[in-house]
């Protein structure tokens, strides 16, 4: 197989999981796998180490296609590593070459599956955190509107809260210090626009 025939790794070349410190381990799948059943214990141990190292590579989920680098990752001398790699079932069982941009690296379908799941979970958590922060920010804004002289109706109007929050994020102190004066200013700007009655 030529380099042009290699599959493309399905992630960006700079994809990383920087705060990733654990990964999903399908123990039933592992315990019943050909790798687990037929590999020597030493090979299994290094194989699992490589799954772990792949979580910290760029792109995430891949390994270098270079014996010297792989030996260094595992803390082995090159000759020992090459002996392990030459075995019928080696620590690189089911790893195969792929293209990551203009670089050839190694990928493993199960490791990729675990990485995709971790990235999706990370993105869901970020979205939930963003929505949670927005809810808290708007609850504080609602209180500030009342303190700044706004009506209860205004303080509970989702449209008003969204408009004032947007204006404050754009024009307020970049550290997010939303004083009552800033909220009053946002209310005045909003009142000068035609949104219909707010009070």
How confident is the model at residue 197, as a pLDDT? 45
CA 155 to chain centre: 35
Is the pLDDT score of 170 beyond 90? no
How confident is the model at residue 198, as a pLDDT? 43
Q: Are 98 and 105 in contact (CB under 8 A)?
A: yes
How confident is the model at residue 1, as a pLDDT? 65
Is the pLDDT score of 164 beyond 70? yes
How confident is the model at residue 53, as a pLDDT? 96
7: left (phi over 0), alpha (psi -120 to 50) or beta: beta
How confident is the model over 58-77, as pLDDT tens digits? 999 999 999 999 999 999 99
Q: Which comes out higher in pLDDT, residue 24 or 28?
A: 28
How confident is the model at residue 122, as a pLDDT? 77
Average pLDDT, the chain: 88
Comparing CA positions, the residue from 78, 93, 107, 145 lying closest to residue 8 is: 107
Is the pLDDT score of 79 beyond 60? yes
pTM: 0.63
Q: How confident is the model at residue 103 (pLDDT cuts 50, 70, 90)?
A: very high
How confident is the model at residue 173, as a pLDDT? 64
The span from the CA of 106 to the CA of 100, in Å, is 9
How confident is the model over 36-56, as pLDDT tens digits? 999 999 999 999 999 999 999
Is the pLDDT score of 78 beyond 90? yes
Q: What is the mean pLDDT of residues 102-120?
A: 92
Structural domain spans, the chain: 3-107, 132-191
How confident is the model at residue 175, as a pLDDT? 65
Q: Which comes out higher in pLDDT, residue 130 or 159?
A: 159
What sign does the CA torsion over 11, 17, 14, 76 have?
negative
176: left (phi over 0), alpha (psi -120 to 50) or beta: left
């Amino acid at each position: 197989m030529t380099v042009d025939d290699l599959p493309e790794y399905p992630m960006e070349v700079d994809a990383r999981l920087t705060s990733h410190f654990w990964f999903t381990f399908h123990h039933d799948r592992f315990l019943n796998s050909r790798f687990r059943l037929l590999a020597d214990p030493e090979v299994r141990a290094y194989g699992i180490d490589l799954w772990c190292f792949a979580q910290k590579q760029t792109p995430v989920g891949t390994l270098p296609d270079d014996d010297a680098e792989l030996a260094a990752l595992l803390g082995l001398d090159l000759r020992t590593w090459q002996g392990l790699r030459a075995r019928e079932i080696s620590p690189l069982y089911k790893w195969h070459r792929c293209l990551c941009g203009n670089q050839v690296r190694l990928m493993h379908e199960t490791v990729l599956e675990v990485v995709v799941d971790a990235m999706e979970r990370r993105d869901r958590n970020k979205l939930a955190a963003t929505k949670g922060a927005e809810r808290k920010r708007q609850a504080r804004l609602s209180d500030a509107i009342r303190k700044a002289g706004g009506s209860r109706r205004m303080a509970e109007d989702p449209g008003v809260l969204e408009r004032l929050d947007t204006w404050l994020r754009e024009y307020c102190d970049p550290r997010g210090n939303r004083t009552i004066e800033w909220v009053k200013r946002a209310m005045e700007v909003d009142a000068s626009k035609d949104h219909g009655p707010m009070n």
